[in-house]
Amino acid sequence: MDTILRIARPAGGAARGFEAGASRLRGVLRALVTWSARSRQRRALAGLDDAMLKDIGLSRADIAFEAAKPFWRE
């Protein structure tokens, strides 16, 4: 019974360790969301027609350069 109580109530150090792990997990999740959005935006940009590109002031070369970047690069 004593062992179960110790597991159920972690010491203060364990709680801080959990918070640090949760913080790292939030950072990883934030990066994944950012990378996913960046990839989706580059695909959408590559799908624009010439008239739309002219409207926003970009050329096919600009789009090709941006679309060629890996998802983790800004």
Query: Which helix (H) or strand (E) segment is 11 a member of?
Result: none
pLDDT tens digit string along 14-44? 567 778 888 899 999 999 999 999 999 999 9
Query: Which helix (H) or strand (E) segment is 74 a member of?
Result: none
pLDDT tens digit string along 52-62? 999 999 999 99
Rounded to a whole number of angstroms, the CA Rg of the chain reads 23
pTM: 0.65
Amino acid at 37: A
Give the residue extent of every domain in the chain: 13-67
Task: Return d(Cα 19, Cα 12) in angstroms, integer.
Answer: 11
Q: Are 64 and 39 in contact (CB under 8 A)?
A: no
